[in-house]
Amino acid sequence: MFTPSTTASDRRHPLSTTGGRASRRPIVSGYSLLELTVGLGIILAVAAITIVSVQRAIRSLRLHGAAADYANLLQNARIRAVKDDKYYAVLTDTSVNPPIAYVDINGSGTYDNGEPMMDFRTNTNPVPFSSGPSVANLKMQFLPPTPSGQASLAAGGGPPTFGSRGLPCTPVTGATGSTICPYLTPPNFTPTSFITFIQDNTGTWSAVTVTPAGRIRQWSYDNGNWVPLN
């Protein structure tokens, strides 16, 4: 019987086209253009959500940080008033950039070098009391529910002022014609509380409050309600 000879090439490629045999095509692995487009779209969407979340977190940190800085300045004024046996008010100045708050040590009504002060953080500003949202909700949370407690809020919300006993007070004209903060002796003493509102450039709010007992608290505004931060 005659047996056809097999060439070396046929032995190396048994499925080659030589002799009518089918060819073995290389297997190509990878992604189609559609798969790449969908994958890229998902990555971009996740990145956009992450960026928005990070930006929101940064804004929140700045706003709450500004409230914390302001609360610390109020505490500074309170301690200084006790130490110096005087009353001190904490004022704000929005005509400068960034806005500042300061303890008016010399009573000039303007910031002078050497007075304790703070800069409000980027894109945060103290705003007029009349602009603050849900004041009634905030008052019910930080003030006693009694009529005298709810009525203790200073006209216009402030400015926060502390007397020589470390208690909030409303300056009045004394018997000698000088301005004083009454001591805790009836009938001169009137319970006093304060609210300062702070807002960022996106319209988000925070607040710093002072109770008649001198407790200083920070708040965040969320869907019509104030939430305590400390």
Average pLDDT over residues 121-130: 95
Question: Sorting pLDDT into bands at 50, 70 and 90, what band is 170?
Answer: confident
Are 139 and 100 within 8 A, CB to CB?
no
Opening angle at CA 91, ends 86 and 173, nearest 5: 45
121-125, 180-184, 186-190, 222-226 — which is least confidently predicted? 186-190
| Per-residue pLDDT at 156 exceeds 70 | yes
Average pLDDT over residues 53-63: 78
pTM of the model: 0.76
| Per-residue pLDDT at 175 exceeds 70 | no
- CATH superfamily for 49-228 is minor pseudopilin epsh domain (3.55.40.10)
Q: Where are the domains of the chain?
A: 49-228
Q: Write down the residue that tokens 């509102």 correspond to.
A: 197
Average pLDDT over residues 159-181: 81
Residue 126: strand pairing partners: 198
Average pLDDT over residues 52-64: 78
CA distance readout (Å), 158 to 37, 47, 74, 104, 212: 58, 44, 12, 14, 13
Percentage of the chain beyond pLDDT 90 is 57
| Per-residue pLDDT at 15 exceeds 60 | no
Q: 48 versus 163: which is more confidently predicted?
A: 163
Residue 107 identity = G
